[in-house]
Amino acid sequence: MTTESVPAGGDPRRLLSDARDLARRVRLDQRVTWLPLLVLALMTFGAIPAYRYGRVISDCHPANDGQVCTVWLQTVTFYWLAALVLAYVVIAGGYLRAARARGVDTRVLPYAVTGVALIGLGFAFAAVWTHLNPLAYPEEPSAFAQFLFRLLDPPGAIGLALLVLAWLERHVALLLFTLGYLAVVLVPINFGWGAHWGPHTWFIPQLVINGSALLLGSAGFTLAQRLRRPR
């Protein structure tokens, strides 16, 4: 601490470098990166029972030489909507609380709003697409449509919202982590598991992988934060 008066002005290079350093320190103190990753990991693991035991509504009608069915995973849809809205509320609240306890405010609200908006957009996109492009088995949506579905599916939407958080916080490590996570979500890892598990269990490995990636990320950022903070 000093009580000396500080000379006015100074070397412009030093002033700019001091300002940049202060801004960087504030950004570090605003981050609570482990929290969204942990909450979203828990929500992802929580989706497993919803898929496994949830209610599925199918509407079938005869087609040319068989029947066309529209399948709606009712419980899963409601689970993701409720779980992710709750998750973003918890994340925003926790972020604000932690940052304010350190003496600064945070930019988490645009992230939470984007997260909720993407969930709504994802379900709206799926509903409109299915209505406009009904497919008869064994037809499959185009590769581009499948990519969009995966991107706007809840696990993909989680990644897109994390990109927004990385941008808001200018957090390069989070950006790299999120790109890796999105790669896992968009290019599903499949070693043939679940091929004969039945319609209620084939998705479990992918949910476990997504949730584990988020959980590992949360642990990694917690560790990094602990190592950085002076004891």
Partner 1 sequence: MTDAADTPEPDEIESPHPVTGLDDVVHQRVRLGILTIAHEARRVEFGYLRTQLELTAGNLSQHLSVLETAGLVQVEKGYAGRRGRTWITLTSAGNTALADEIGRLKLLIARVETTDTQDDR
| 142 lines the binding site for partner 1 (CB under 8 A) | no
What is the DSSP pairing of strand 56-63 with strand 66-73?
antiparallel
Q: Kindly give the interhelix angle for 12-30 and 74-102, rounded to the nearest 10 degrees.
A: 130
CA distance 120 to 84: 10
| 8 lines the binding site for partner 1 (CB under 8 A) | yes
CB of 123 to partner 1, least distance (A): 32
CA distance 97 to 101: 6
| 164 lines the binding site for partner 1 (CB under 8 A) | no
CA distance 28 to 182: 24
Output 105 or 199, the one with its CB closest to partner 1.
105
Binders in 98-127 for partner 1, by CB under 8 A: 100, 102-107
| 195 lines the binding site for partner 1 (CB under 8 A) | no
How many of the other CB atoms lie within 10 Å of CB of 164? 17
Output 3 or 58, the one with its CB closest to partner 1.
3
Q: Looking at 17-25, 122-130, 136-144, 192-200, which segment touches partner 1 (CB under 8 A)? A: 17-25
128, amino acid identity: V
Write the DSSP symbol of residue 141.
Answer: -
CB within 8 A of 151, min separation 6: which ones? 157, 160, 186
Q: Looking at 16-24, 111-119, 133-141, 146-154, which segment touches partner 1 (CB under 8 A)? A: 16-24
- Smallest Cα–Cα separation from 123: which of 147, 152, 144? 152
Q: Looking at 25-33, 67-75, 195-203, 207-215, which segment touches partner 1 (CB under 8 A)? A: 25-33
| 23 lines the binding site for partner 1 (CB under 8 A) | yes
Binders in 44-103 for partner 1, by CB under 8 A: 100, 102-103
Q: Residues in the site for partner 1, rule: CB under 8 A?
A: 1-3, 5-10, 12-13, 15-16, 18-19, 22-23, 25-27, 29-30, 100, 102-107
